[in-house]
Amino acid sequence: MEKQLTPRRRPVTKMQRKTDFTGWCFVLPAVLLFFCFILLPIVISVVTSFSDFNGINKYEPWGFHNYVEIFTRDITRFRKSILNLGLYVVLFVPLNIFLSMGLALLVSKRTKTNKYIRMAFYIPSLTSGIAVASVWAWMLNPEAGIINIFLSSMGIPKVNWLNDPNIAMVTVVIVALWNGCGANMVLYVAAIQGVNESLIEAAKIEGAGAFKITTKITIPLLRPITFFVMTTVFIGAFQLYDTVVMLFPSGGPQNSALTPIMAINRAINDGFLYGRASAMSVILLLIVSALTFVLQKLNKETY
């Protein structure tokens, strides 16, 4: 700990030593827990990914074998899950931002009614993925589900929401949008309400209409919040599990809804391949780190 100290000329006073002691005492519980349940797992992940660890008694170094296996004989379909994740992100991120920003623009004015509408918009974000998906699985049921009944009453052919490999990820995105837009809308509302009133007043005097004010002033000023939403949505995408496992318990038709977590779980449940599972975790870790790095860079450049 002392090593991190920058070279300082003056000797360490007794006072400083006392402060150091107090400080470390305060953070000690947090540091211990952080070490056990965040740092250590990451280290174990990296180390065991280069071994044939089976979780119990086998542990031989295996070099890059696990990584090579993932790229050649991908038995748990991890690569497919990453592609699914990519598709999910491509569909979900723009739609989510568009919807939550749009909803926020609709109800951002500070009125009593809007407050209640906003609360109602947030309610779908309250419940667990399991509860959300249980209702949606029932509504999307190909035969008795209300959505297909509604569609066919409008003359639109039934959609096979839960059994069509081309539709599976669309289904996931629809449910995730219903589940996720409310929370992001709240963020946008706060940001819109924070837009400087005098800017808008000035634009009004210049003769700008409501539409122009929205597109030329409000939306550009929402850029930081959009980056924040993007970052959280990207990272959230890696956690995708509850809703999907409820809608597609075994990863969907032809693994079309398999998520990375499900693929990692397969490696454990089907063959105690802890080493393989760790290698997948490490790949995810690298992707997440690269993504957040790029997003933060982009965010900084816009200022």
Partner 1 sequence: MGAQSVGTAGAGRPYALKAKKRGLKAFKITAAALWLVICIFPFYWSIVTSLKPLNEIMIFSLWPKSPTWLNFKDAFLNKDLVRAVFNTVGVTVAGMGVNIAVSLLAGYAFARIRFRGGKAMFKIMQASMMLPFAVMFIPTYIVLARFPLVGGNNILGQGGYGFVGQETQFLGIILPSCVSVYNIFFLRQFFLTLPNELGESAKIDGARELRIFALIYLPLMRPAVATLAIFTFQSGWNNYFWPYILGQGQYKVLTIVLRQYYTAIAPDHGVAMAFNLIITIPMILFFIVFQRYFMSGLTAGSVKE
Within 54-113, which residues bind partner 1 (CB under 8 A)?
55, 102-103, 106-107
Residue of 27, 156, 199, 294 interacting with partner 1 (CB under 8 A): 27
Residue 217 touches partner 1, criterion: CB under 8 A: no
In the bound state with partner 1, the residue whose beta carbon lies nearer, of 146 and 199, is 146
Note whether 52 binds partner 1 by CB under 8 A: no
- According to CB under 8 A, which one of 67, 87, 124, 170 is a site residue for partner 1? 124
Is position 40 an interface residue for partner 1 (rule: CB under 8 A)?
yes
Nearest to 56 by CA among 272, 278, 279: 272
- Residues 264-283, interacting with partner 1 (CB under 8 A): 264-265, 268, 274, 277-278, 281-282
Alpha helices in 35-145 (DSSP H): 40-48, 65-72, 78-107, 112-122, 129-139
Maximum C-alpha span of the chain: 83
Out of 82, 230, 260, 266, point to the residue binding partner 1 (CB under 8 A).
260
Choices 67-75, 117-125, 165-173, 198-206 (CB under 8 A): range interacting with partner 1 = 117-125
The one segment of 61-69, 119-127, 157-165, 198-206 that binds partner 1 by CB under 8 A: 119-127
Among 11, 30, 112, 303, binds partner 1 (CB under 8 A): 30
CB of 166 to partner 1, least distance (A): 24
Question: Which of 67/122 has CB closer to partner 1?
Answer: 122
Q: Give residues with Cβ within 8 angstroms of 279, minimum separation 6.
A: 49, 66, 67, 70
Compute how many other C-beta atoms are within 10 angstroms of the C-beta atom of residue 67: 17
Among residues 7, 9, 10, 29, which is the contact residue for partner 1, using CB under 8 A? 29
Residue 268: CB minimum distance to partner 1, A: 7
Residue 90 vs 149, nearer CB to partner 1: 149
**Out of 68, 146, 290, 298, which residue is the one contacting partner 1 (CB under 8 A)?**
146
CB of 292 to partner 1, least distance (A): 5
Half-sphere exposure of 213 (CA within 13 A, CB side): 18
CB of 254 to partner 1, least distance (A): 21
Within 8 A by CB and 6+ apart from 160, the residues are 142, 167
Give the CA distances from residue 88 to residues 116, 170, 263, in Å, rounded to whole numbers and listed in that order: 31, 8, 16
In angstroms, how far is the first alpha carbon of the chain from the final one?
A: 36
Q: Which DSSP string do the residues of 200-239 spell out, in sequence order?
A: HHHHHHTT--HHHHIIIIIHHHTHHHHHHHHHHHHHHHHT
Residue from 92, 136, 161, 248 that binds partner 1 (CB under 8 A)?
136
Neighbours of 298 (CB within 10 A): 11
- In angstroms, the CA 170 to CA 107 distance is 27
Interaction of residue 284 with partner 1, rule CB under 8 A? yes
Task: Answer yes or no whether residue 39 interacts with partner 1 by CB under 8 A.
Answer: yes
Q: How far is CA 182 from CA 124, 133, 178, in A?
A: 7, 16, 8
Q: Considering the complex, state which of residue 37 and residue 198 has its C-beta at the smaller distance from partner 1.
A: 37
Distance CA 248, CA 175 (A): 12
Judged by CB under 8 A, does residue 249 bind partner 1?
yes
